[in-house]
Amino acid sequence: MRLHLIGMPGAGKTTLGRGLATFYGTPFCDLDEEIVRREGRSIATLFEQEGEAYFREREAATLQAVLAEHERLVLATGGGTPCFHQNLDLLLATGLTLYLEVPVEELVRRLVRAAAARPLLANLPDPQALETRLRETLATRERFYSRAHLRCTGTYSVESIQRLIMHYQTTG
Ligand SMILES: Nc1ncnc2c1ncn2[C@@H]1O[C@H](COP(=O)(O)OP(=O)(O)O)[C@@H](O)[C@H]1O
Ligand SMILES: O=C(O)C1=C[C@@H](OP(=O)(O)O)[C@@H](O)[C@H](O)C1
Ligand SMILES: [Mg+2]
């Protein structure tokens, strides 16, 4: 299994990715965690000390390294991963790429307490500002996300995603 999860922050890529990797018995990689491990600094610190362009460069390089290192893999990308450099073409060419589409209202509910660790969503004054930021971000990213091989919309579980993948693999 070579499965790549893409989608907005809060979509559940990291959480679901772990579950799917356990289900399939494959290694799991969270791209953000791998960048942190290699750089020895948190995502927030990387953005603060080096800026977004540097982060995107490290993100692209780490993605290439991780994909080259693993044959079987469930990969949770960061929300911006498919939207920079040649990352999306690489993801599509090397594994089944699944877009987790979650309504913005639900992303807000999930991220209100988890925005601080996400520099592009941090320091916003209230949930309304978070919602506006997420809507603006999604508007620029949808054209990338929508190129995924598969899209999962609404509520999902490891089992429902596994059925979706099986259906895709048997029907093409
Ligand atoms: N299916 C889900 N239902 C409700 N909350 C979820 C779900 N998946 C993830 N979360 C919560 O949403 C937040 C973001 O999840 P995470 O897996 O880090 O998303 P991502 O990696 O896509 O940004 C976490 O607090 C997590 O516990
Ligand atoms: O949307 C983005 O550009 C980002 C999303 C984050 O990952 P999650 O989608 O796992 O939150 C992380 O890569 C970084 O903060 C940038
Ligand atoms: Mg994540």
- Supply the DSSP symbol for 147: T
Mean pLDDT in residue range 94-119: 95
Tens-place pLDDT, residues 25-50: 999 999 999 999 999 999 999 999 99
Residue 109 belongs to domain with CATH number? 3.40.50.300
Please provide the distance, in angstroms rounded to a whole number, between the alpha carbons at the two ends of the chain: 16
**What would you measure as the largest C-alpha separation in the chain, in angstroms?**
48
Residue 45 assigned as binding residue: no
Residue 10 assigned as binding residue: yes
Task: Name the residue at shortest CA distance from atom 6 of ligand 2.
Answer: 78
pLDDT value, residue 28: 98
Tens-place pLDDT, residues 131-159: 999 999 999 999 999 999 999 998 899 99
How far is the C-alpha of 160 from the C-alpha of 109, rounded, in Å? 22
Task: Give the full edge-to-edge strand order of the sheet including 96-101.
Answer: 28-30, 73-76, 2-6, 96-101, 150-153
Q: Which domain holds residue 147?
A: 2-171
Task: Name the residue at shortest CA distance from atom 3 of ligand 2.
Answer: 80
Tell me, using a 6 A CB cutoff, whether residue 114 lines ligand 1.
yes
Task: Name the residue at shortest CA distance from atom 3 of ligand 1.
Answer: 12
Looking from the CA of residue 44, the nearest atom of ligand 2 is 15
Residue 13 assigned as binding residue: yes
Domain total in the chain? 1
